[in-house]
Amino acid sequence: MAFDYDVAVYMGTLPKIKNHNLKVKIMRAFAEGAKSAGARVFIGDMDRKLVDARLAVILGWVGMNFSGPHIYFRRDIIEHQKMTGGRVMPIDGSCFKFSNDNNLYLRYSLDSVFYNQGEYANLNSDDTKWQEIRDVLGLKLQPWREKGNHILVCLQRDSGWNAKGFDQTAWLQKTCKIIRSQTEKPIIVRPHPANKIDWTAVTSKFSKCTVSGSANRLLEQDIKNAHAAVFYNSSSSVAAVLAGIPAFVTDDSAVTWSVANHSTRDINDPQYPSREQWLYDLSACHWREDESIKGNIYRHFEPYLPPK
């Protein structure tokens, strides 16, 4: 198929342009960079018009519990790209936002935000990007810790696309039940700070099971001295893995799946896999705005796009 454009940057994937200046800036940076790299670029506005392009750039993805014109437009873009043979680039949040949440780094991929489905063009990366992120954000890969005082169970936003519409209450109850059958270590449940839900109806069913005041406590505070940290598929599991705390994740789309444990029945005997190559590859998914403006991101992914 002959495409009218190399890149279509769809501002209509935002709810309102005037209320999202930072997000608009991120989108325009990619458009500017693609133009500088010689791409034919279409910048869509809030009329939400579809065009035929090798690459459609959107902010975010489509979740099961989302609604609104901008969400439906994201869905339409994804379907249009599938139908025409083009690809979709969702721009997603950083996996290191527990350390820095000012959007200095964002994640770019093709065709999915899920780590086991999207093309991140990052396989067997060297340590260059990790060294940069490590130094800029002040991170460190700590040795695995084989003993700790409590089990941390981290919840996530019910409305987030990573949650995939799963029943978080049922998951928490099942998780706590299995953990308590294996160990008497205290269980600390950390709600997502954005969710105003009272979880005591679940935690009160189990001995030594409490709820963290996550609205006023950093993730690092709850991870500290943990024996293990349990997640569904949240990118917050990256914080645990970097801290040397064995992570247990349930869903294989988690970015930590390859370096995590998968059954909480093994909570007393976790595995401690090698993390270096995983960390180099994950870091290589993350890009700064100045790299986008220079066209570095577009050039990196251009070989993965269909022919002009």
Per-residue pLDDT reduced to its tens digit, 141-175: 999 998 899 999 999 876 555 556 678 899 999 99
| Topology of domain 5-122+285-304, CATH | Rossmann fold (3.40.50)
Could you give phi then psi for residue 10, rounded to 5 degrees? Answer: -100, 100
Backbone φ and ψ for 39, nearest 5 degrees, come out as -80, 150
Q: Report residue 27 as tokens.
A: 């989108």
For 21, counting Cβ atoms within 10 Å of its Cβ (0-12 exposed, 13-18 middle, 19+ buried), the class is exposed
pLDDT of residue 162: 58
Q: What is the pLDDT of residue 102?
A: 77
66 pLDDT higher than 90: no
What percentage of the chain carries pLDDT values higher than 90? Answer: 80
Across the range 175-191, mean pLDDT stands at 97
The predicted-structure confidence for 99-123, as pLDDT tens digits, reads as follows 877 789 999 999 999 999 999 999 9
pLDDT at 163: 59
**Which residues belong to CATH 3.40.50.2000 in the chain?**
150-274
Average pLDDT, integer, range 209-218: 89
Structure pTM? Answer: 0.93
DSSP codes joined into one string, 24-85 = HHHHHHHHHHHHHTT--EEEE-TT-----EEEEEEES---TT--SHHHHHHHHHHHHHHHHT
What is the CATH number that goes with domain 150-274? 3.40.50.2000
- More confident call, 164 vs 241: 241
CA torsion sign for 72, 78, 84, 86 is: positive
DSSP for 180-217 reads HHH--S-EEEE--TT-----HHHHTTSTTEEE--TTSS
Cα 225–Cα 178–Cα 213 angle in degrees, nearest 5: 45
Predicted pLDDT of residue 20: 64
pLDDT interval class at 65 (50, 70, 90) = low
pLDDT digits over 278-300, tens only? 999 999 999 999 999 999 999 99
For residue 229, what are its two tokens? 């940290």
pLDDT for residue 233 is more than 70: yes
Is the pLDDT reported for residue 211 higher than 80? yes
